[in-house]
Amino acid sequence: METRASRTAAPSGRTPWALIVFLFACNLLASFMQSIMNIALDQVSTDFHVRLAEANLVIIVFSIVAGTVITTAASVMKRFGLRKVMIFGLVTGLVGSLLGFIAWCFPVLVVARVVQAFTTGLYFPVINEALLMLSPKGRAGVLLSLNSGIIGIGLAFAPPVAGLLITYAGLRVLFLVPAIFAAVLLVTALFVVHDISPREQRPIDGLSIVLSFLGLGAFMTGLNEMSHYGLAMVGLMVVGLAIIVLFIWRQRRLEHPLLDMRPFKTRAFSVGEGLIVLSYMGSVYLSLLVPLYLEGAAGFSAFLAGCILAVPILCYACACFASGKILGKRGVWPLVPAGFLVVLAGFVTMLATLSLLNALVVAACTALVYGGIGIFYPAVKSVDLEVLPPALSSNGSAIHSTVVQVAGCISSALYVGMMSGTVDAQLAAGASKAHAYAVGFADTLPLEIGFIVAAIVLSLVYVRLVRAYTRSQAAAADATRAPSAPVEARGFRKA
């Protein structure tokens, strides 16, 4: 009798390029939906008459929900299969975008972002895992780097498209772009998507979902409003951290955890994810605060600010494409430390020249930082997933995507919260909006530079751990007289 496993349309020897291209397009949609509000915070604050920190909820709530959904991704993928997950994600993307289009008040806009977040939360880890399964032998690192570059293109197109629509058509019209994109992909999915692995009747722990949402929500809300409400928000952050600890403790006791923590036993993976947090915080800093500076301090329209920001993000996308090739030839040294040094140079130059109040100089420094992130980010992402045993790769992918969303939450709440507090204080003291935004932006830069310095030190530790892993793999291959090609195929350089 035919079983469920035998009915899955897992690919055979031929690479299913149509499905791979479709997955790339879905990640493009997910990244676009995640970033369309980055250029819009000032407009959201104006249109809905809310403080900048309150407007930031469209970013924070999205990240909290996406981060919670990501923790379920590995279990959902195994239980329902790729086809159902991809179709469900497109439906939520379409519904959330249409709801954003008709949003008549700020709470409805936030709800629209919540629904959209289901798409991004599912797609980032599921598509990573699917690409690892579908990639031709020895090409996983290149394929993941290509995926990062495509996400970068989505991030690059979001600011000018969003700025154009906000400036000339209004905020709500912005949501029509992902709605149309999702509708087209939904029709395509019916013909292209199939399951690529057997499904399992795997339980999904509801309490873990609640703990994840409450923990992230409490911590990020406290961080976002700390500059306004002080000790009360610090207390809320402590409560959030306690709930997160309880979530982690519960995962260790469940037979089928929502988020399997075993990948953290691999030291190279753990350190690599630490680098991901620090690098992604820098990326979010640029995508949120630079538009606020350009619109609030320099007086540019949302469209012009988006166009200026698009060029630096394209530098990130181009660097991602090059990173995969360099990784395959040279490994993580000197790729990762060099990338962080480029990032540091960009931020330090930005701080040193900020007094010039020259938007083009800020844009050039932004391009330098984005280029540096594109140099190392795909490499760390690829190596982190491939140092894990195959049985843990889906869990590693879910952890990676969760870490990215948490880093996005932290940086959005921290930096926008800090800037909002400074802007409110400056305006209360009688300063102009331009001066208040310029001071708020300048106050946040030294903190980000400190994080990048810490990342450079950590990157040296990371390189040593990866090289040690490479040596152990080569020794094991020699001991069993098996070819060591798989190690090199994964983008590691023999030590």
d(CA 92, CA 99): 10
- The per-residue pLDDT string of the chain (495 residues; one tens digit each, 9 = 90 and over) reads 333 333 344 444 455 888 888 998 998 898 888 888 877 888 888 888 888 778 888 888 888 888 788 878 777 888 888 899 999 999 999 999 999 999 888 999 999 999 999 998 888 878 877 887 776 665 666 676 677 667 766 666 777 888 888 888 888 888 999 999 999 999 999 998 888 777 777 777 888 888 988 888 888 778 767 766 778 888 888 998 899 899 889 988 888 787 778 888 888 898 989 998 888 888 888 888 888 888 888 788 878 888 887 788 788 878 877 776 777 667 778 888 989 999 999 999 998 888 777 778 888 999 999 889 888 887 887 788 778 887 777 677 778 777 877 787 778 778 887 888 888 888 888 888 888 888 888 889 999 999 999 999 999 999 888 888 777 776 776 676 545 444 444 444 433
pLDDT tens column, 18-30: 888 899 899 889 8
d(CA 416, CA 410): 10
**Residue in the structure block whose two tokens are 């310029």:** 438
Tokens encoding 39: 């250029």
**Contact (Cβ atoms closer than 8 angstroms) between residue 48 and residue 40:** no
Q: Give the pLDDT of residue 324.
A: 67
d(CA 455, CA 272): 10
CA dihedral 109, 113, 114, 119 (to 10 degrees): 150
Neighbouring C-beta atoms of residue 107, cutoff 10 Å:
11
Going by C-alpha positions, the residue among 349, 308, 317, 335 that lies closest to residue 449 is 349
48 DSSP assignment: T
Q: What phi, psi does 29 have (nearest 5°)?
A: -65, -45
Going by C-alpha positions, the residue among 148, 79, 67 that lies closest to residue 399 is 67
Domains and CATH numbers, the chain: 15-194+207-477 (1.20.1250.20)
Helices 433-479 and 359-386 meet at what angle, rounded to 10? 30
0.75 exceeded by the pTM?
no
Tokens encoding 437: 């935004």
Q: Map 430-494 to HEC letters.
A: CCCHHHHHHHHHHHHHHHHHHHHHHHHHHHHHHHHHHHHHHHHHHHHHHHCCCCCHHHHHCCCCC
Question: How many whole angstroms from its chain centre is CA 145?
Answer: 14
Tokens encoding 155: 């991030």
